Amino acid sequence: MAYRVKKAFKNLPELTTVVDGKRVALNQSYTHSTKGTPTKPPETITVPLATTAQLRAIFERGDPCVEQYEEAKMEEPRNLVNEYVPKNPFEGVPRELLEKAQSAGKKKPIKNEP
Amino acid sequence: MACTLTALNSITGCPDNTGGLQYSYVANLSDITSIANTANLITAFTMDSVGLWKKLEYDKNDTSYFNQVGGRFNDIGALSYPQEALLQFGGFNAAADLIADGASDCCQLVFIHVLTNGQIVVQGLEVDAAAVGGFTGTKIRDTKVTPSQNSNTAAEEAWLQFLVRGTSKHVAPFTDLTPTEIEAL
């Protein structure tokens, strides 16, 4: 099983939470700059993207932002060249019809009409 | 919640019953994306961005409080909890003016109050599993700030007060997030 942010919350590029005391971004890593105040200097914060284990922890604590899903299994690519077997395009057509078509083609060649 | 009665005893065990608040954090309700909770205890917040909780460090002079006095309409009707907090900051100046104006323009606020006894309570938010994100603002009346700025007399102190009021359907939830975790959000 894998974990991901629900579609409804994908539009928040700076979606952030704290997991095991660490600040993490859920949609993408980003850098955030804060303005300084009289008591606090300006700050630039880099928020890393949550790891799979952190996403799992967020899901398991019951956060509605994250969902569990089953990863689609990749099929092994088939070697179509080796599998190709040319088939007779006239297979199944009665022999009489084939002969009739052949003879008709000889007697009446197609002409370009004026 | 279904009718549930639980034995309660504050005589033995001596719970910390010190009143008052130490400091608070405030954010816009709209900046909170989701919460995780267990039995009305919020275990996590997910925010729209980082640094949206602002710390409020007010005077420790026995004035700050957070109260929620339940009341029933016509004594036995619908129950609601008018929540009220008072936060008093010393000083009377232009900077305080701007802070007061800015806070008063916010329509739906959420406060996290760190109580003197170490418990941390959340005002302005109700846990609601059916809502997007697992929460709503106070359901009956939005939580807003009413600032007051008093110079008072020379024998007194000049201050800016935030009176924070809203009305909820349920008692305010607590959180087990530590102040360090809240500041990391």
Note the pLDDT tens digit of each residue in A3-62: 999 999 999 999 999 999 999 999 999 999 888 777 778 889 899 999 999 999 999 999
Can you give the pLDDT at residue B48? 93
Q: For CA atoms A71, B35, B44, B13, give the dihedral sign.
A: negative
Query: Cβ contacts (< 8 Å) between B180 and chain A: which residues?
Result: 21
- Average per-residue pLDDT in chain B? 92
Q: How many CB atoms lie within 10 A of CB B60?
A: 13
Asked whether the predicted pLDDT for residue B13 surpasses 80, the reply is: no
Question: Which residue would you say has higher pLDDT here, B23 or A91?
Answer: B23
User: Higher model confidence: residue B166 or residue B16?
Assistant: B166
Domain layout of chain A by residue ranges: 2-69
For residue A31, give the H/E element and its range: strand A30-34
CA dist B35 and B28 (Å) reads: 14
Please compute the mean of the pLDDT values over residues B52-72 and round it to a whole number. 93
Contact A23 B34 (CB under 8 A): no
Q: What is the pLDDT of residue A90?
A: 77
Residue B169 C-beta-side C-alpha neighbours within 13 Å: 10
Least confident piece of the model among A76-80, A109-113, B83-87, B180-184: A109-113
pLDDT level of residue B114 (50, 70, 90 thresholds): very high
Residues in chain B: 185
Asked if residue B53 has pLDDT above 90, the reply is yes
Using the predicted structure, report yes or no on whether residue B8 has a pLDDT greater than 90.
Answer: no
Q: How far is A38 from chain B (nearest CA, A)?
A: 10
- Residue A108: predicted pLDDT: 58
Encode B80-119: b = buried (16+ Cβ within 10 Å), e = exposed: bbbbbbbbbbeeeeeebeebbeebeebebbbbbbbbeeee
Residue A32 to chain B, least CA–CA distance (Å): 7
Please name the residue of chain B whose CA is at the shortest distance from the CA of residue A10.
B48
Return the number of CB contacts < 8 Å for A and B: 73
The pLDDT, as a whole number, for residue B179 is: 94
Tell me what pLDDT residue A75 has: 73
ipTM of the complex: 0.82
pLDDT class for A110, splitting at 50, 70, 90?
low
Cβ contacts of residue B80 below 8 Å, gap of 6+?
B70, B71, B73, B140, B167, B168, B169
pLDDT interval class at B14 (50, 70, 90): confident
Please give the residue of chain A at the shortest CA–CA distance from B131. Answer: A64
- Banded pLDDT at A114 (limits 50, 70, 90): low
Selection from B140, B112, B86, B115 nearest residue B32 by Cα: B112
Query: How many other CB atoms sit within 10 Å of the CB of residue B148?
Result: 12
Yes or no, beta carbons of B50 and A47 under 8 Å apart: yes
Could you tell me which residue, A76 or B51, shows the higher pLDDT? B51
Q: Which two tokens stand for residue B133?
A: 């994100």
Res. A105: pLDDT tops 90: no
The amino acid present at B126, given as its one-letter code, is E
Report the alpha-carbon distance of residue B152 to residue A24 in Å, rounded.
46
Does the pLDDT value for residue A111 go beyond 90?
no
Position B11 scores a pLDDT of 81
Q: Please compute Rg for chain B using Cα positions.
A: 17
Chain B residues touching A15 at Cβ < 8 A: 33, 46-49
Which SS3 state, helix, strand or coil, does residue B60 take? coil
The two beta strands, B135-137 and B159-168, are unpaired
Neighbours of A25 (CB within 10 A): 21
